[in-house]
Amino acid sequence: MGTPDFAVPALKALIQDSRFEVAGVITQPDSPVGRHASITPPPVKVVAEENKIPVFQPKKLDRSSVFEIRTSKFELRNSNYDAVVVVAYGKILPQWFLDLPKHGVINVHASLLPRWRGASPIQSAIATGDKKTGVTIMKIDAQLDHGPILAAQETATLKTDTAESLHDRLAELGAKLLPDTLADYLSGKLKPREQDHDAATTCRTLKRENGKIDWTKSAEEIERLVRAYHPWPGTWTEYKGKRLKILQTKISSETADREPGEFFSAPHKLLVACEDKTALELVMIQPEGKKPMTAHEFVSGQKTTLVSHLIRS
């Protein structure tokens, strides 16, 4: 069970491993994507169909839709399969579903549990400044990312990481860890171990409005947030009454002795004052209704517009 790009390496790893037979794939329905809202299949569906694996796309994960899932090799309600592997499916699984497979439902989660249970572990690790993160393979229980752990693998969180780059690295890390972990668990060699629930942290589902920058935070915090929210939900601020998307930034050595959120310039630089007199340099931005551009191009354009206005006047 999986839907987005993050789940693709794990599915491919299981398909390519002779110890497993992937009898079917459950994924979300095709959905509109892009400016033109073209109906597009989930990435997991594309890979499954390329490998001639039956695909099921129930709108609701209820008993009637699940019990209709069957192929010539298996029927979901009869439990004639060993396990369900879940990688970013996109919905909470009810207990009756978790009870169907012989050995339960196994999940590949993009954090070192119990840290960052929830929907945005990759973004949270970067935004908080975690020096390391990783993937955890766990057995799902009724509570969110609460089940016992089968295996975990850590990796450094780089100072240049965006959610996009860390996403891709963790997807591959999870795909490498999954086959041996699953085989050892199914054979009885590997026993699940309980999480340290007292150390758990949680993260929320992100929405576009979460990307509005609060300039009363330090430049370091905001720089991390810009990377954490790239490409989704993106970060933005208001400039002269219009939305300005912030695509890339870096921490400035300038001292900002002015109000947080105030724009100011240095030679060939566009800066914004942050908390504690720190300053953030804007590197790549996207003004409302325009294409992405460097901050230098933006500042030059503002000067050109002003000169043209003075000449006309």
pLDDT of residue 42: 97
Q: Which of 27-36, 102-111, 264-273 is most confident?
A: 102-111
Cα 273–Cα 279–Cα 284 angle in degrees, nearest 5: 95
Cite the residue boundaries of each domain of the chain with CATH code 3.10.25.10: 208-312
CATH of domain 5-203: 3.40.50.170
pLDDT of residue 257: 94
pLDDT of residue 136: 98
Model confidence pLDDT, tens digit, residues 200-252? 999 999 999 999 999 999 999 999 999 999 999 999 999 989 999 999 999 99
Which H or E run includes 93?
Answer: none
What average pLDDT does the segment 303-308 reach?
A: 42
Name the pLDDT band for 302 (thresholds 50, 70, 90): low
pLDDT of residue 234: 98
3.40.50.1820, 3.30.565.10, 3.40.1480.10, 3.10.25.10: which CATH number matches 208-312? 3.10.25.10
Name the pLDDT band for 303 (thresholds 50, 70, 90): low
Nearest to 157 by CA among 202, 204, 117, 122: 122
Cite the residue boundaries of each domain of the chain with CATH code 3.40.50.170: 5-203
What average pLDDT does the segment 99-112 reach?
A: 96
**178 in Cβ contact with 137 (< 8 Å):** yes
Instruction: For residue 16, give Cα distances in angstroms to 6, 21, 64, 145, 175.
Output: 17, 9, 32, 27, 11
**150 in Cβ contact with 138 (< 8 Å):** yes
Reading phi first (left if > 0) and then psi (alpha if -120 to 50, else beta), residue 37 is in left
Nearest to 85 by CA among 185, 202, 218: 185
Q: Calculate the average pLDDT of the chain.
A: 92
Nearest to 148 by CA among 158, 140, 160, 156: 140
Cα 35–Cα 37–Cα 42 angle in degrees, nearest 5: 115
Model confidence pLDDT, tens digit, residues 145-180? 999 999 999 999 999 999 999 999 999 999 999 999
Q: How many CB atoms sit inside 10 A of residue 253's CB? A: 8
How many contiguous H segments (helices) and E segments (strands) does the chain have? 8, 16
pLDDT of residue 311: 34
What average pLDDT does the segment 51-69 reach?
A: 90
Nearest to 8 by CA among 186, 168, 180, 182: 168
pTM of the model: 0.92
Model confidence pLDDT, tens digit, residues 12-54? 999 999 999 999 999 999 999 887 889 999 999 999 999 999 9
Contacts with 97 (C-beta within 8 Å, 6 or more apart), sequence order:
61, 66, 105
**142 in Cβ contact with 148 (< 8 Å):** no
pLDDT of residue 36: 82
